[in-house]
Chains A and B, each alone.
Chain A
Amino acid sequence: MAGGQPLIPPALRAARLVPLRLGLGLGTLLLGLVGLSIGVLFWQGSREAGGLGSLAAGLFGPEARFALRAALLQASLSTVLSVGLGLWLARALVRRGAFWGRRALLSLSWLAMVVPTSVAALAILSVWGPAGSGRMLAEGIGLPLPFEQFGLGMVLLAHCFFNVPLAMRLGLSALSSLPDRQWQLGASLGLSARDYFIWMEWPVLRLAAIGSASLIFLLCFTSFALVLMLGGGPRVTTLEVAIYTALRFDFDLPLAAGLALLQLLVCAGLLLLLWYQRAPLLNQGAAGLPGWPRRDRAAWLARFGDWLAIGLLVLLIVLPLLSLLAGQDWQAGANLFTRPVFWQALLDTALVCLPSAVISLGLGLIFATALVRARQTGQRLAGRFIGFSISASLMLPALVLGTALFILLYQLAPPARLAWGLVLLANILLSLPFVMRLLEPRLAWLLPAQDRLADQLGLSGWRRLRVTLPALGDELQTGFALAAALSLGDLGVIALFGSADFQTLPWLLYQYQNRYGGAEAEMLALVMLGLVLLLFFTAGRLTRPAGGGR
């Protein structure tokens, strides 16, 4: 597969390298932004005394070391659990094929990925917390739960809530890249479950595992409010907590710069380790559930395993989400809709979400294409550089980025004018890694498959794009919905500006949550979830079987 590249006519080869160069340029820009942010914090703070000492304390201090150890343990466990369960689920969902409730389950799994963290934490606690229905039930029938009420176990559970659906999605997308021919062959050979796994599923799932593990590790390693809320105390912590403390409580900018640098270095090191393992993605295949009956479906062990995984997903995601509905005080919550500030925030959110989604998709397309071209032309280093630069934005706390850019720009423009631009930027940086991972697997087989035809017809540049884009329809729609949903739920950097003329729904939720009487906060959270569902619905995901379509 990797060796069988079609020969590319020299004229077109140059055109094909345009996205790669563009990707390299944009990647440099992203990394530059990360470096700039850390540099600005250090430079600004070092004008006061003790800058270098603080920077060193951030890199090597005892608090940094403690937070690093705690975060490494937590993030590694979260990653192993999320990826393991997620891929097991992807396999189960493919093997079970269509069943009642499959679509609903897949739609809800999107929802779980983008719920605001404070809302998710309460939802999870309402099921598994000290007074939670799930915990009561389990204790009632004498079933001990493997995690405490608060502590590391609860943090892992919450991280699974967010990330199992993500790993599952990436796993489903990987399995759907297997060509129909292979399923047909598998069926005619009468493969056993073990054979299916070794010869067909694992080679693609392995790639999904590496891709999702790197993303999930970053998300869990940099987790903040969730870790504090569910961790039971400062034993469970992350570098992100230390960075927030340095920036806000101590106002020690070089310390924050040092801690951010440490976070960046550790994440970068782990990513490089993972990439060393990385094999080229399969560059062929077609979408869809296998249309060929699998003989291993009927085995009782397979059945048991599949339904166990699906049952766990229901316990993990569906139960907490449903509990949000159950705990709602509808009458008091309805007040929300009488408030003008809600409607203003809704409009302002749309003004961030929609451009953010469009730009993320555009950038994601460039980066994904660049990655595929880098792999085709054997430029491994270029590919790794691009992949790394996209993830780098996840390693940089939004507060660091926002503060640094604020320091740089506040003298050039009034904060109220900056707010929109910087919130947009933070949202794009957040969505980009997700969108890129969504587009890349499909492009990885689509581009090479179309290359020969494009060469024969002499298509290149924009005209080539007009052929490629329609074939990416599903991914583009989902990517748009995902990017918009992520910005819908993310507080980002807006808290730095405090402009009354620019409010977003997450910022409004933060405000509602800082007062007595939570009915409107809960209603707002439900509205936000509703909007997310609407986004995915209009993106066509609810009207078709998700996970690759048929």
Chain B
Amino acid sequence: MLNKNISCSNWRPDQLFCRLFVALLALFLSGPVLAEKPVLTIYTYESFVSEWGPGPKVEAAFEAECGCDLQFVALDSSLGILGRIRIEGAASPADLVLGLDTNVTEIARQTGLFAPHQLTSQADALPGQFTDPDFLAFDWGVFAFVYDRDRLASPPDSMEALRRAPDSLKIVIQDPRTATPGLGLLLWAKSVYGDEAGDFWRDLQPKIVTVTKGWWDAYSLFLEGNADMVLSYATSPAYHSIAEGKDNYAAAEFAEGHYLQIEVAGMLKNAPQPELARAFLRFMQGPVFQQIIPTTNWMYPVSRDSQPDGFDGLVMPQKTWLFPAEKVAAEQKNWIAEWLAASR
């Protein structure tokens, strides 16, 4: 029937005639010319797919070796990806999901929609072990407070120092219910302070200028001079130095250690193309994909051989924190409630 790969298969009012034309063309041409390439469908978050993200390069590189058509579906966030497959359930056309992180892997697993990848993890650059039967890591980073050296000469050197800093030190963070770094800080504080995390949040309140919905809102508030520090990633300064040639941005290293974010991909149980999906997971851990990641997604690659140049001067914490995914899945509602109570 109608070949799905022809460019105007997606319906738009201006393409009605295009579709008619294609249908006629398909009638007249014989099979071999329109031989269907298998389609690999990957759900991910939008910044992965954008022009400046890893998506276009990854797509070109994988298509060169797989003889397939790689199609990304770009949702607004990793939670958006998860919501979409939960709605579609077993009928989802997706083969792979790329861009969940270790905070939601357990919640994703509990949907029963994922299949074991049956591959060996090649990730050797993670600070610690990460093995998961359903998910494989493709990049990682740590959350950190970023500041401008020209504006803040001596930033706090620990979470406790931040907590005890004078209230004139202003920070901007994200809401844990709407943004990944926000949830990261919540878990970071919980790791460091345990049952006393509520007290930490109460002490921090006067220093928080605002709690934004997304990462960009907070980051741009900081860049425009509305706060001294912003919750972001330890890799953020690499963007400023590599892409903008600015060396005044730095991440503050905290003595208690930093909270880890590992981004993962997993294949779906009902993947229409399971073999292609597995081939992509293998490709994802290989050098081509890993070398694309650092300067497009601004995260660390999981492969030791692919460490990028401009990342040397970055904060590389001695100690990192990571809750087991099951713990996050079980407790996050309570921890959010604790944060809300302390913030109001």
Contact = CB atoms under 8 A, between A and B. Distances in A.
B243 A516 contact: yes
Contacts of B210: 150, 228-233
Interface stretch (B20-28, B45-53, B156-164, B283-291): B45-53
B76 A420 contact: no
B93 to A, nearest CB: 8
A179 to B, nearest CB: 45
Nearest to B12: A420
Contacts of A410: 87-88
Contact of B211 (A228, A248, A496, A514): A228
Contacts of B170: 130
Contact of B343 (A234, A498, A510): A234
Interface string B161-189: 00000000010000101100000000000
Contacts of B243: 516-517
B340 interface: yes
A228 B175 contact: yes
A417 B82 CA distance: 21
A502 B178 contact: no
Interface in B73-97: 73-77, 79-80, 82-84, 86-88, 91, 93
Interface residues of A, number: 61
Contacts of A225: 213-214, 217
Interface string A486-525: 0000000001101111100000001101111110000000
A410 B94 CA distance: 13
A275 interface: no
B241 to A, nearest CB: 11
A201 to B, nearest CB: 40
B224 A122 contact: yes
A502 B73 CA distance: 11
Contacts, number: 165
B226 A131 contact: yes
Interface string A99-137: 000000000000000000010011001100111000000
Given A122-B224, A125-B221, A420 B46 contact: no
B135 interface: no
A-B pairs with lowest CB-CB distance, top 10:
A131-B225, A495-B76, A501-B10, A417-B11, A516-B239, A245-B177, A498-B74, A150-B210, A513-B216, A228-B213
Interface of A: 44, 63, 66, 118, 121-122, 125-126, 129-131, 149-150, 224-225, 228-235, 241, 244-245, 247-251, 327, 339, 341, 348, 351, 403, 406-407, 410-411, 414-417, 420, 495-496, 498-502, 510-511, 513-518
24 contacts: A125-B224, A130-B209, A131-B225, A228-B178, A228-B212, A229-B210, A231-B211, A232-B210, A233-B344, A234-B211, A241-B178, A245-B178, A250-B333, A351-B14, A416-B10, A420-B13, A495-B80, A498-B43, A498-B75, A511-B50, A515-B50, A515-B53, A517-B239, A518-B223
Interface of B: 10-14, 43, 46-47, 49-53, 71-77, 79-80, 82-84, 86-88, 91, 93, 107, 170, 175, 177-178, 205, 208-217, 219-221, 223-227, 236, 239-240, 243-244, 298, 333, 340, 343-344
